[in-house]
Structure 1
């Protein structure tokens, strides 16, 4: 038995004034209207209408139940309209994950711009180099570097993640500019501690291929710490282009070995498929894709 439908029919009978009028209003037969009322009465164990050859009037129980039905149906309509309002206007909390460096340098500023444009949205941004479980950890979307392993997610491509090797003009004046991979042996190299445990980036020069030097003058577990050391002229740094873009643009760091840098890695924004995606997520996805997609700025 569809209780809500039966309640809708009862309210329609009372407001229309008769079973026949309610049938016309609901596009049902009078017999079907009567069936809905009988189902309600059998379920409740009480007579709702006093039937006669001339008219059908509410019993005392029926009058009280009618008022309760109206309130219930109003609440249902309010709940349905709330969902539709949420689908019409971006609002509510978005939980987003992104890798630390890319997230800090690129995603966080984009989130701020998005929030300025959508006053009813809140965003919780988690910067982590771990891969979060979107469904299990309650995230709406994540920016990921590398191949997408979860085929159950929608993955929208963004600009590839590029690396750059650079040093200060002063360092290069003292130690010379490296031209080949073999030149790295006579340079001070700065390295991320993750690379000491898990080699990730391969440098190539024609047929030659080497890993970024394992023995580093300075090792740090954060790219920004390496950037600060490089800016003081300590040595060569290899870091994501987004982390060093401003310093390179201003000439404080100079790219070297540009023909040897590792191949760019794919970047995607991923999210669960949803036939009726809420505006807060749909607008955010499109905002990020416009800024960082194929036609957007490089990352």
Structure 2
């Protein structure tokens, strides 16, 4: 029989001085109560209760055992209440893992607002672009960008969608012309990831359907933030995720190109260990993430702010009326009809730095 239950039964029998009374209080039969006590005595190899036809009394061993068992059961009850409270009230350390670039540019506001709302939770954020085993490494929540995870021990939930954006600085475009069709990228030095070096095919969806091109890389880096820095230094045309360059587009530091064309979207998902009873800190953080990135907030919210900023100031080019409907971080667009001139002399290079779109 269950030893803890036998201990609880024994305490109740000792308190009430009766097998029948204990049976009634515990909603058990008298025979079951008697067996619990007998099993304890057999396990301990000693008698705990003196039984007569008129009353029960504790033996010396029974009195000692009763005192210690009360403490054990009280401690156990305290632990159970603490665990229940942690599952119902957000408390403790919340371990979060996210890709480097997304974490640096999009995660901090979410964590800040969550920490302000739930001060008893301590967020512990890790940024990593390697494969992470959430269960093995003890993470509570992971954010995945353009990656899918299939595991019986992991639950995934769609968070939001990002977009790849073709962009360059106004200074670069003034000197070298503005591409208006995907084919024009072949005339410009491109800045992209190492796996794309040598001309990975890009598939654009435009007014006339699919357009496939293989831009020639001038510089490759495996860190999107580094590619952004190269673009800001007027070194070429970059294809970067919307969540990375929203503020640059809003301020005019970068100009979005090929406004009539779109690259495949970037799916951003939440992953967390599958549990029957999800801790409150995990449950509330997931809900907070979803609320932050829902339409009208998060990535889309930033885009609307960017659109308002761009509308309020002169822009180096024209703003497309369709911009406000595009769900990107920034909805500013510029066009220039200037023909392409000579290309800048940019040395081909490859920069190693860990990141992922």
Common fold by TM > 0.5? yes
Aligned partner of residue 217 in structure 2, secondary structure: coil
- In the alignment, which residue of structure 2 is the partner of 1:215? 217
- In the alignment, which residue of structure 2 is the partner of 1:59? 59
Pairing of 1:154-233 with structure 2 (within 5 A): 154-196=155-197, 199=200, 202-204=203-205, 206-211=209-214, 213-216=215-218, 218-233=219-234
Distance 2:81 2:202 in 1: 52
Distance 1:151 1:256 in 2: 39
Kept in 1, the 8 Å contact 2:189–2:237? The answer is yes
Aligned partner of residue 95 in structure 2, secondary structure: strand
Distance 2:202 2:74 in 1: 61
Distance 1:80 1:279 in 2: 15
TM-score by length of 1: 0.91
- In the alignment, which residue of structure 1 is the partner of 2:70? 70
Pairing of 1:5-44 with structure 2 (within 5 A): 5-44=5-44
Verify: 1:103 aligned to 2:106, yes or no.
Answer: no
Distance 2:86 2:242 in 1: 38
Aligned partner of residue 83 in structure 2, secondary structure: helix
Distance 2:149 2:88 in 1: 33
Distance 2:18 2:125 in 1: 57
- In the alignment, which residue of structure 2 is the partner of 1:132? 132
CA change 1:151–1:3 in 2 (3 A) is closer
What is the number of equivalent residue pairs in this alignment?
297
Indicate the RMSD between aligned Cα atoms, in angstroms: 2.1
Distance 2:244 2:122 in 1: 26
Kept in 2, the 8 Å contact 1:289–1:296? The answer is no
CA change 1:68–1:201 in 2 (3 A) is farther
Verify: 1:256 aligned to 2:257, yes or no.
Answer: yes
How far residue 143 of structure 1 moved from its aligned partner, in angstroms, is 1.1
How far residue 194 of structure 1 moved from its aligned partner, in angstroms, is 4.2
Distance 2:53 2:194 in 1: 90
Unaligned runs of 5+ in 2: 300-328, 330-357
TM-score by length of 2: 0.77
Per-residue deviation, residues 227-277 of structure 1 (Å, max 9, x unmatched): 222223222121111111001111221100133342102221011222211
Distance 1:252 1:146 in 2: 26
When structure 1 is superposed on structure 2, of 283-292 and 252-261 the one drifting more is 252-261
CA change 1:201–1:149 in 2 (3 A) is farther
